[in-house]
Amino acid sequence: MASGIKDKVAILGMGCSKFGERWDMEAQDLMVEAFTECLDDAGIEKDRIEAAWLSTAIESVNVGPSGLPLSVALRLPYIPVTRVENFCASGTEAFRGAVYAVASGACDVALALGCEKLKDTGYGGLPQRTRGVTNDMFWPNLSAPGMFAQLAAGYRGAHGVDKDDLKRAMARVSVKSHANGARNPKAHLRREVSEEQVLKAPMVAEPIGLFDCCGVSDGAACAIVTTPEIARELGKTEFVSVKAMQLSVSNGEEAGHSGWDGSYVKTTRIASKKAYEEAGIRNPRAELDMTEVHDCFSITELVTMEDLGLAEEGRAWRDVLDGVFDSDGEVPCQIDGGLKCFGHPIGASGLRMLYEMYLQLLGRAGERQLDDPKLGLTHNLGGFPHMNVSSVSIVGRYEG
Amino acid sequence: MTSPGITAFGAYVPRLRLQRSAIVGANAWANGALAAHGRGERSMCNWDEDSVTMAVEAARDALAGADRNEVSAVHLASTTLPFTDRQNAGICAEALNLGSDIATLDVTSSLRAGTTGLANALAAVRAGAPGRGLFVASEHRRSRTGTPQELLYGDAAAAVTLGRDGVIARLAGHHSTSVDFVDHYRGQYSEFDYDWEERWVRDEGYLKIVPPTVAAALASCGVEPGAVDRFLLPCTLRRVPEMVARQAGIRPEAVADGMQQVCGDTGAAHAVLMLCRALEDAAPGERILVVGFGQGCDALVFEVTDAVRDLPPRRGVAGALARRSPEENYDRFLTFNGLVDKDFGKRAELDRQTPLSTLYRNRRMLTGFVGGRCERCGTVQFPKSHYCVNPNCGALDTQADHPMADTPGTVKTWTADSLTFSIDPPAYFGMVQFEGGGRLMVDFTDVDRETFDIGAQVGMQFRIREVDSERGFRKYFWKAVQAD
């Protein structure tokens, strides 16, 4: 039985660029913006970094393939740089690479940096792109909202929830994230919205309207990790350590076998269960102080609350309406605005979620600081409800 | 052993019916005379239908309840085949899962291709071709905007199976003539027909070429003109079938309705479509005379047999016509037929090249809609895969080919996506759960937006998935259509 990752790796520093429509920035400029903040925070010289992971998702409209763009942008000292891609969960994958490298003892200090430059396509939303030569022969011309919209259909079917009730709960998810994002200077969308505005927004993919969708943004985020021992040697007294990192990848069962009813994300259930075991969490709703989940669409966040065990099956829509996940609720969710308002530069998002956890746990979250949080969860989902990769990480204050 | 004939029939008419008033309304400013053809409706292909997809659907209807292993030939007649050099009948054979030991042929270049092709397919049966022949006529007509043709034409397909056993309509007599009478033509690189004056076409064409051909066909089987029960002559010129009948000595009440008000003239398919329509309610012993006109004339005399009563129920022409959705939007018709340069946004700019080697490797799955069935646990899955998808099985290489095109399904999840590229937005797609197992994230088409929701019953239809206009290719796949 493996001993797991708990408390083996410390976060030495983190950085995050401003997210948004960064018309004046190359991807490399965003990388440097996030990295310089991170390096200052870590308090080390660049040449202490022994290995690096770069996450980008849609490299064709971004920096292109390989680890080279990161190595060149930061002038890294000819160290191993690996580019990772795992749909929208890519950011957490870069972090996992760095964390595992340190935990294995292969290196002392490792860098994870995620970056996405999405605003060079000439249109809104994610770029229309190939899904692989054979898939293109028979898959629908799907869009991300089109695929996640189906969670709502599946959820209605499984729980008999009225269409209008569900739409209202979805709207509430977005209203909450806009309220949070308005207090985050680095967020892409910083305007509060009313439930009525959300409900009346133009339809994107039935029943997902414009305000049910997250922002499509440019941005970068990064982390430097090391062991708790080295963190101490470097003079860190209060720091954040990794408690769990789990990833579950669909094997085609949801897409091909009648066992799945379309109302939940199976991988999130599997990854979160393993993550709670790895972190030693028995009652997540009571023990977790906050979450940053993959709210690519309002319905995704709503369903994720159930998949993470933070709401009972078929009850999340009521909990949402009851404010359980609001900034002053029982388990605040997307305190930084989430993908919804902080924005979603795909390859950076997993690291951006960790960045907010990191700030909150160290009491550096400014206007949106929660009251003494000790343990937080990030959930980074890629793909589509019926076929996806789901990453669940838990971080907390190091108390070793 | 009886003489050859038709053993079953089937039909397909696109669900969309463009209201002629919409065409007249948009074009009357330029040509007020169009109003003369303004009544009724014409069938129109959805953007994802063409002569091949309609042919496949008509053939499936004709093959309802039949043993497909018996089919030994597929002949496809059309003047609007999507491929000039890639056998279109071969695509149909693959889509119908008829195997590779089969004779396939495209019959084209004349609106008479429907009747000429039928006569030749029957001749092959008479000459001893084994099993059943499948003959399909299909047409997706194209015309310039604001022309009478746009009002008069329609899109449809009709199919018959042929053989010597189980014949429901025996070929009694036949005669063909060839006359290079050019009432209209379409050159190799032309998009549209070029037509000559209608009165000349009537007087020098139909009235001089059809009657002697009809007389010869009737004489070949010793049938008196007055004994013809149904006279089928597709013609968009008013009263011409009646005039030809009078000249030929055929009773006026035998002249069949050309479905002009409900469908329009479907070109090379129309004579066969009218024949299938006649067979739907023909009584044993009836004599049907079907005529095709175009650079000459074909006349075929059929005699309906007792076996017509035993034919299993099918959609047929009446069923296909009843499955309709009135379309008032002329612009959709223009767009679907590529008659306007519509902007679909930058998402439409994605390269849609088809890797032909990928298509070939996966042709059973993509064209034939063949999945897999695990022979260990019985789980049906699409696509067929090495490892069984059933979490309690997982066996390796145990799946047999499992054709799923005829398996009904239920809508499990869906959306109407306004963001993604579609020629007919919003794009409807979602998860279909098939009866007896297997599921697929798949496109929906011909959606009834009022009634569509989870739980809807669907069937699969062969459709265009994507058009690669840059390279003149089109990808075909199967889509889910709400059950009638």
B chain contacts of residue A133, beta-carbon cutoff 8 Å: 355, 358
Q: Quick check: is A308 in a domain?
A: yes
Summarize pLDDT for B208-229 with one digit per residue, the tens: 999 999 999 999 999 999 999 9
Question: For residue range B179-188, what is the model confidence (pLDDT) as tens digits?
Answer: 999 999 999 9
Please indicate whether, in this complex, the C-beta atoms of A208 and B415 are within 8 angstroms of each other: yes
Q: How far is CA A363 from each of CA A279, A332, A374, A378, B449, rounded to the nearest angstrom?
A: 22, 15, 10, 18, 52
Kindly list the residues from chain A whose CB atom is less than 8 angstroms away from the CB atom of residue B477.
Answer: 137-138
The domain spanning residue A209 has which CATH number? 3.40.47.10
Mean pLDDT of A383-389: 97
A253 and A315 share one domain: yes
- The string of pLDDT tens digits covering residues A243-295 is 999 999 999 999 999 999 999 999 999 999 999 999 999 999 999 999 999 99
Nearest CB to A257 within list B390, B421, B427:
B390
ipTM score: 0.95
Comparing CB atoms, the residue among A204, A261, A386 nearest residue B418 is: A204
Looking at residue A127, what is its pLDDT? 87
The answer to whether residue A265 sits within a structural domain is: yes
Instruction: Respond yes or no: is residue A107 known to be catalytic.
Output: no
Beta carbons within 8 Å of B183's beta carbon, 6+ residues apart: B195, B196, B200, B201, B205, B294
Distance from CA of A378 to the nearest CA of B (A): 27
* In a domain? residue A21: yes
Cα-to-chain-centroid distance, residue B460: 16
Q: What is the pLDDT of residues B121-162, one digit of tens each?
A: 999 999 999 999 999 999 999 999 999 999 999 999 999 999
Sort strands A81-84 and A51-55 into parallel, antiparallel or unpaired. Answer: parallel
Per-residue confidence band for A400, with pLDDT thresholds at 50, 70 and 90: confident
Q: Tell whether A204 lies on the interface with B, counting CB pairs under 8 A.
A: yes
Q: Do A128 and B350 touch (CB under 8 A)?
A: yes
**In contact, B53 and B461? CB cutoff 8 Å:** yes
Tell me whether residue A135 is in a domain.
no
Q: How many residues are given for chain A? A: 400
Percent of chain B with pLDDT over 90: 99
How far apart are the C-alpha atoms of B339 and B423, rounded to whole Å? Answer: 13
pLDDT digits (tens, 9 = 90+) for A175-210: 999 999 999 999 999 999 999 999 999 999 999 999
Enclosing domain of residue A105: 10-119+218-233
Is A209 in the B-facing interface, judged by CB distances under 8 Å?
no
Q: Are A106 and A186 in a shared domain? A: no
SS (HEC) of A76-96 = CCCCCEEEECECECHHHHHHH
Instruction: Give the 3-state DSSP-derived string for chain B, with helices as H, strands as E and coil as C.
Output: CCCCEEEEEEEECCCEEEEHHHHHHHHCCCCHHHHHHCCCEEECCCCCCCHHHHHHHHHHHHCCCCCHHHEEEEEEECCCCCCCCCCHHHHHHHHCCCCCCCEEEEECCCCCHHHHHHHHHHHHHHCCCCCEEEEEEEECCCCCCCCHHHHHECCEEEEEEEECCCCCEEEEEEEEEECCCCCEECCCCCCCCEECCHHHHHHHHHHHHHHHHHHHHHHHCCCCHHHCCEEECCCCCCCHHHHHHHHHCCCHHHECCCCCCCCCECHHHHHHHHHHHHHHHCCCCCEEEEEEECCEEEEEEEEECHHHHHCCCCCHHHHHHHCCEEECCHHHHHHHCCCCCCCCCHHHHCCCCCCHHHHHHCHHHHCCCEEEEECCCCCEECCCCCECCCCCCCCECCEEEEECCCCCEEEEEEEEECCCCCCCCCEEEEEEEECCCCEEEEEECCCCCCCCCCCCEEEEEEEEEEEECCCCEEEEEEEEEECC
CA atoms within 13 A on the CB side of B72: 12
- Judge contact between A10 and A232, C-beta under 8 A: no
The answer to whether residue A1 sits within a structural domain is no
Average pLDDT over residues B322-336: 98
Looking at residues B176-198, what average pLDDT do you find?
97
A333 is catalytic: no
Which of A156, A206, A254, A387 would you mutate first to test chain B, the one with the most B CBs within 10 A? A206
Single out the residue of B453, B450, B409, B418 nearest to residue A163, CA to CA.
Answer: B453
How much helix, strand and coil, in percent to the nearest 5, is found in chain A?
40, 20, 40
Do residues A33 and A176 share a domain? Answer: no
A163 and A202 assigned to the same domain: yes
* Residue B52 reports pLDDT greater than 70: yes
Bond prior to B241 in cis (omega within 30° of 0) = no
Quick one: A61 and A77 in the same domain? yes
Q: Hey, CA dihedral for B461, B462, B464, B465, is it positive or negative?
A: positive
Supply the pLDDT for residue B466.
Answer: 95
Please determine, for residue B39, whether its predicted confidence score (pLDDT) is greater than 80: yes
How far does B360 lie from chain A, in Å, by closest CA? 11
User: Chain A partners of B427 at a C-beta cutoff of 8 Å?
Assistant: 140-141, 146
**Is A64 found in the same domain as A166?**
no
CA angle B311, B316, B319 (to 5 degrees): 125
* Beta strands in chain A, from DSSP E residues, in sequence order: 10-16, 51-55, 81-84, 110-116, 203-205, 208-209, 219-226, 240-249, 290-292, 375-384, 387-397
What does the alpha-carbon distance between residue A334 and residue A126 come to, in Å, rounded to a whole number? 22
Q: Which of A182, A199, A233 is the last residue of a domain?
A: A233
In angstroms, rounded to a whole number, what is the distance separating the alpha carbons of residues A26 and A107? Answer: 30
**CA atoms in the 13 A half-sphere facing the CB of A29:** 9
| Residues A168 and A260 occupy one common structural domain | yes
Chain B: nearest CA to A256, how far in angstroms?
Answer: 5
Confidence of residue B467 (pLDDT cuts 50, 70, 90): very high
The pLDDT tens digits of the residues spanning A22-75 come to 999 999 999 999 999 999 999 999 999 999 999 999 988 888 999 999 999 999
B139: which strand partners?
A: B156
User: How would you list the strands of the sheet with B16-19, edge to edge?
Assistant: B41-43, B16-19, B325-327
User: Are A155 and A65 members of one domain?
Assistant: no
At B378 the pLDDT is 98
Of A233, A265, A291, the residue at which a domain comes to its end is A233
Residue A2 inside a domain? The answer is no
A136 vs B288: CA distance, rounded Å:
48
Note whether A263 and A372 are same-domain residues. Answer: yes
pLDDT band at B2; cut points 50, 70, 90? low
Q: Which of A186, A206, A233 is the last residue of a domain?
A: A233
Distance CA(B388)–CA(B372), nearest Å, equals 9
- Pull the structure tokens for residue A259: 């066992």
Contacts of B441 in chain A (CB under 8 A): 139-140, 142, 255, 384, 386
Do A343 and A385 share a domain, yes or no? yes
**Six-digit token pair at A347?**
């390859």
Per-residue model confidence (pLDDT) at position A1: 67
Residue A127 lies in a domain: no
Residue B419 has pLDDT above 50, yes or no: yes
Give the residue from chain B lying closest to A263, CA to CA: B413
Q: Over range B370-396, report the average pLDDT.
A: 98
Q: Is the four-CA dihedral B302, B306, B312, B316 of positive or negative sign?
A: positive
Shortest CA gap A320–chain B (Å): 23
Indicate which of B388, B413, B453, B466 best probes the interface with A, i.e. most A CBs within 10 Å of its own CB.
B413
pLDDT in tens, A102-161: 999 999 999 999 999 999 999 989 988 889 999 999 999 999 999 999 999 999 999 999
Residue B1 has pLDDT above 70, yes or no: no
Q: How far is CA B179 from CA B110, B209, B210, B244, B298, in A?
A: 12, 8, 11, 17, 11
Please give the Cα distance from B446 to A119 (Å, whole number). 35
Shared domain check, A346 and A208: yes
Residue B298 has pLDDT above 80, yes or no: yes
**Are both A153 and A167 inside the same structural domain?**
yes
Residues of A in contact with B382 (CB under 8 A): 256
pLDDT for the residue B452: 95
Is the pLDDT assigned to residue A364 strictly greater than 50?
yes
Instruction: Average the pLDDT over A295-307 and give the result.
Output: 98
For residues B292 and B153, what is the distance between their CA atoms, to the nearest angstrom? 16
Q: Which residue in A has a C-alpha nearest to residue B468's C-alpha?
A: A137
Dihedrals phi, psi of B204, to nearest 5 degrees: -90, -20
Task: For A387, name the nearest residue in chain B, comparing CA atoms only.
Answer: B441
- Measured CA to CA, the distance from residue A208 to residue A198 in angstroms comes to 10
Residue holding tokens 């309709």? B324
**Taking Cα atoms as reference points, which of B40, B192, B191, B58 lies closest to residue B114?**
B58
Strands B156-163 vs B132-139: parallel, antiparallel or unpaired: antiparallel
Measure A153 CA to nearest chain B CA, in Å: 5
pLDDT higher than threshold 60 for residue A354: yes
From the CB of residue A331, how many other CB atoms can be counted at a distance below 10 Å? 22
Structural domains in chain B, CATH included, are 5-336 (3.40.47.10), 407-482 (2.40.50)
Domain membership of residue A128 (yes or no) is no
**Count of structural domains within chain A:** 2
